[in-house]
Amino acid sequence: MAGKERECTGCGRTFTGTNRQCTGCRAAERACTECGHVFTGAERRCTRCRTAEHVCADCGRTFTGTHRQCMGCQATERACTECGRTYTGTARRCQRCRATERVCTGCARTFTGATRRCQRCQATERVCTDCKRMFTGTHRRCMRCQRTERICTDCKRIFTGTDRRCKACQATDRACTDCKRMFTSTDRRCAGCQRTERVCTDCKRVFTGIARRCMRCQATKRTCTDCERMFTGTNRRCMRCHATERACTECGRTYTGTNRQCPACVWGLLPESERNSRSRHGNNARRARKQAAEVNGPVSVEVYMAIAASGPCVYCGADSAHVDHIRPLSRGGWEHESNLVGACAHCNLSKGSALLTGWLPERVAYGAAHSPKVAAELARLTTEQAELAELAELAELAEVAS
């Protein structure tokens, strides 16, 4: 008999079916006639016993369930009866409205959701149906295979993921459930509390983080989506494009960066033992690099002072207070007077260990126009990069030919 829309005699809710009462009102706690497991429902057998592998009548895909159609074919775009939000699914209410705080029947942990068990208890080790990689989860495909390029429904930005909204739009200001610190994210715990010591699945190196692979293995050479500059990292934009002018949450000072606190406050919040350890490590490493890069012995303090006082900053024309290694020591530069120029504190610190070809083009152009040393190093780097590009092109042609 075909079901028709009717009003439940128990709760008065409108439903489609052949009975006088809706499924919710007919549900009672009973023992499954097959496995003896106690469950709440309107059927004689529990869902586990009624579940079987069959072929979807619509798409022909093999799935495990109790219906004639798979979940993908049953899902339709509908309006939530509670919040009115449009969503795609099989229930009358969206996932957000059905979620309540409950106790997991598996681990007794309190969680917010629409199922009897938390995600951790539902997850099992399985093989991805697409890439055949082993993963732990609740889906047939691993997260990597589920990710597709899509448009965020809020900000309309293109992103790669499995949700309708990008991470930035999903993130809200919340308190970490462990340390109670306020942070902005989509997780219950802040990144600091989630970090644990683990072994990288690629290089087997021990690192502290929240991912399966260390940052070194995750980083790839890519083009920044904003400035189109080549960089090595894990984000779509380089650090320079990520940095914005912001107010420090600790001291209120305006600075340019990617963190919530300015560098001075980040350093001040570290324990004294950690500060001392980092200072010793940094000083020892720099001293070792300088000794290894010496040409005719160490450069005297008098030479450093004379270069710093020789004139304005070669990169911007401001007052010179620092001495910069044109080619950084960490990138093969020499500890010699020919590699030293006067620079202001801002230019010297922002340049850091970057080569001239990877730093601010306007500052590099100014330096090349006002310093023969900078111009010579820039020309050498440009020639090097051209030769490397030519070698890479030849190697690619040889690979195609073979």
Give domain status of residue 220, yes or no.
Answer: no
With both helix axes pointing from N to C terminus, report the angle between 361-370 and 372-401 in degrees, rounded to the nearest 10.
Answer: 130
Per-residue DSSP letter, 335 = B
Q: What is the pLDDT of residue 255?
A: 87
pLDDT tops 90 at residue 365: yes
Q: What is the pLDDT of residue 195?
A: 85
Determine the structural domain holding residue 59 and report its residue range: 26-74
Q: How far apart are the first and last CA of the chain?
A: 69
Instruction: Determine the average pLDDT of the residues in 54-62.
Output: 85
pLDDT tops 50 at residue 157: yes
Give domain status of residue 302, yes or no.
Answer: yes
pLDDT tops 50 at residue 325: yes
CATH number of the structural domain spanning residue 352: 1.10.30
Residue whose C-alpha is closest to residue 60's, from 69, 52, 51: 69
Non-local CB neighbours of 221 within 8 Å, separated by 6+ positions? 230, 231, 232
Q: What is the pLDDT of residue 2?
A: 53
Among residues 52, 74, 96, which one ends one of the domains?
74
Q: What is the pLDDT of residue 347?
A: 92
With cut-offs at 50, 70 and 90, classify the pLDDT of residue 381: very high
Q: What is the pLDDT of residue 374?
A: 94
Give domain status of residue 263, yes or no.
Answer: no
Q: What are phi and psi of 72, to 5 degrees?
A: -65, -40
**Structural domains in the chain (count):** 2
Instruction: Determine the average pLDDT of the residues in 20-29.
Output: 82
| pLDDT tens track for 342-357 | 999 999 988 988 899 8
Give domain status of residue 345, yes or no.
Answer: yes
The answer to whether the beta carbons of residues 87 and 77 sit under 8 Å apart is yes
Q: Give the integer Cα–Cα distance in Å for 310 and 341.
A: 9
Q: What is the pLDDT of residue 1?
A: 47
**3-state per-residue secondary structure call for 219-250:** CEEEECCCCCCEEEECCCCCHHHHCEEEECCC
Give domain status of residue 93, yes or no.
Answer: no
Q: What is the pLDDT of residue 239?
A: 83
Mean pLDDT highest for which of 23-32, 132-141, 184-193, 339-348?
339-348
Give domain status of residue 322, yes or no.
Answer: yes
Mean of pLDDT over the chain = 87
Model pTM score? 0.43
Half-sphere exposure of residue 341: CA atoms within 13 angstroms, side-chain side: 27
**DSSP H helical ranges for 158-232:** 167-170, 191-194, 215-218
Q: What is the pLDDT of residue 3?
A: 63
| pLDDT tens track for 262-317 | 888 998 888 898 889 989 998 898 888 888 888 888 899 999 999 999 889 999 99
Share of the chain above pLDDT 90, in %: 19
Residue whose C-alpha is closest to residue 356's, from 324, 399, 312: 324
H/E stretch holding 318: none
The CA R_g of the chain, rounded to the nearest whole Å, is: 31
Among residues 16, 43, 74, which one ends one of the domains?
74
| pLDDT tens track for 85-121 | 888 888 888 888 888 888 998 898 888 888 888 888 8
Give domain status of residue 306, yes or no.
Answer: yes
Q: Give the integer Cα–Cα distance in Å for 177 and 174.
A: 9
Q: What is the pLDDT of residue 101?
A: 87
Non-local CB neighbours of 45 within 8 Å, separated by 6+ positions? 32, 33, 34
The answer to whether the beta carbons of residues 263 and 256 sit under 8 Å apart is no
| pLDDT tens track for 183-206 | 888 888 888 888 888 899 889 888
Give domain status of residue 41, yes or no.
Answer: yes
Q: What are phi and psi of 339, to 5 degrees?
A: -105, 10
| pLDDT tens track for 1-17 | 456 788 888 888 888 88
**DSSP H helical ranges for 178-245:** 191-194, 215-218, 239-242
Q: Give the integer Cα–Cα distance in Å for 61 and 57.
A: 8
Instruction: Determine the average pLDDT of the residues in 50-67.
Output: 83
